[in-house]
Structures are given as structure tokens and as C-alpha cells.
Structure 1
């Protein structure tokens, strides 16, 4: 019985991951909390399902965030980093909205705002990253975006 306990402890120790790298090597993991008041005219687009809004406020991610009301009932919100996830932030890396997608001005890569997935991933053997996801929770008339 004593050996079984030691074996179980060994399995737990081996299975622990001490990898402290970023989810994406190009974008830093910044810690923030930002409240979006849905009553403000600036964010009125978020009252409709599938209508993304770019919020470029200081202290919100690296280059701001794209926020959108999603889900079949419209009770969910999604938020993604506005800087292109496939290179370091630079003068052309803040993406622009194109319907329910966003487009990187550097390479022209397109990402879906419902899933965060890159839609036109090249088949060149290189690793490409999807949009960096942020937590978005609604409480009353305020959506809190955080990492």
C-alpha cells in the first residue's frame, strides 16, 4: 500500500507542467480589467448579436480588443486582442473589422470573431496562432473584459 501511495504521488509530480511561457510568443500576457457600460452610445453596437466593436482604450490588452455579443440567445460576449497574433506588435499590427471578421494590415490574415480562428492559414509548415482570447462577463448593463 505504501508503494502505491508513492507511485500516485510520482504520477502527480510528473504530470505537473512548469512551462510558464505565454500562450502566444508574439503577444505578452498583460493583466487587466476593463468595464464596458452598454448604456453608453460608444458601445451601443454591442446590444446586437454579431456586431463587433473595437475598443482601443489604454490598459485594455496590448492594442485594445474586439468585443462582440455572441451565442444563440445573445447572452454571451467574446473579446479578443486587437493586435495580430502572428507577429510582434508594430505599426500595422492593429487589425480592422471586416463584417464579423478582423483583418491584419501587415499580411492580410483574416480571423473570425465568433471563434477566434484564422480563416486563411497558409499551408507552409509554419506555426500560426489564432486570436488571443480575453474573458468577457456581463453583469447587469456592464461587460467586464479581463485577462
Structure 2
């Protein structure tokens, strides 16, 4: 597992990865304003306190927001399938450390947002203050 993390860090250093460099241009997912706060002290979100756990918060973004604890921070992605028309699929589901599209069954890593398709998951910014996770764009 350490080798995988070192590889990810190495690739990010070589390609100058940063949150602001991520390309969220996607012809299938409209840009909705997102301003969401969840409190991990609430039972619905308490599993976010632990690494490799995620939840889907409905009624935000295109199909809901997936929040995932990476162990070193949090990621937030739109739950819409990034390579399908918005009306053709239901919201993605969480399967362990992956999000799975209901239309084509493609898996996307909740650590990176990447799958084996043209577009990655649409990512949102995340800020944590105590037990509150704020997701926004």
C-alpha cells in the first residue's frame, strides 16, 4: 500500500498536481452551484470519521454529492456518471473505495476520481472545520 501512495505522490510531483489544476470541464454534467455542510457528529455522516468510508448526500449537484474520507483528507465528487448523459442514469453508488455508474458499470476511484473512461468524476472543493465538512465550488 505504501508503494501505491508513493507512486501517486511521485506522479503528482512530476505533473504538478494541485486541486486547482483539476479539469472539471465535462459536457455531460452541468455546473451547479454547490454549498453543502455535513456534521460528522450526526449518525447519517458518522462513518466519514474513518478512512475509506463515503456517503452520498442527495439533492446537491447534478445527482448528489459523494463525500469520501481518504485517510489524509476528504474528497467530494458529483454522483452523476461523468461519461453519460445526465438523464440516462441514476446516481452512482459507492462500492468500497469506488463509485460505480448505474449505466455502464464503470468504476471510479474515490481517491483520485479516475476511471477507465474519457472524463473523471466531477470534483468539488472541500474544507474541514472540526467535525463539519464543507463542500463547495
Aligned residues: 114
The 5 A counterparts of 1:3-42 are 23-42=25-44
Taking structure 2 as the reference length, the TM-score comes to: 0.78
Taking structure 1 as the reference length, the TM-score comes to: 0.73
Q: Which protein shows a greater Rg?
A: 1
- Unpaired segments of 5 or more residues in structure 2? 1-23
Q: SS of the residue aligned with 2:80? A: coil
What does residue 55 of structure 1 align with?
A: 57
| Structure 1 Cα separation of the partners of residues 34 and 107 of structure 2 | 26
Q: 1:46 aligns with which of 32, 45, 48?
A: 48
Q: Could you report, residue by residue, the CA deviation over 1:78-121 in whole angstroms, capped at 9, with x for unpaired residues?
A: 00000000022125241111110011111111100000000x34
Q: 1:112 aligns with which of 109, 113, 118?
A: 109
Q: Does 1:82 align with 2:84?
A: no
Question: Alpha carbon RMSD of aligned pairs, Å?
Answer: 1.4
| Structure 2 Cα separation of the partners of residues 84 and 93 of structure 1 | 8
Q: 1:103 aligns with which of 96, 100, 103?
A: 100
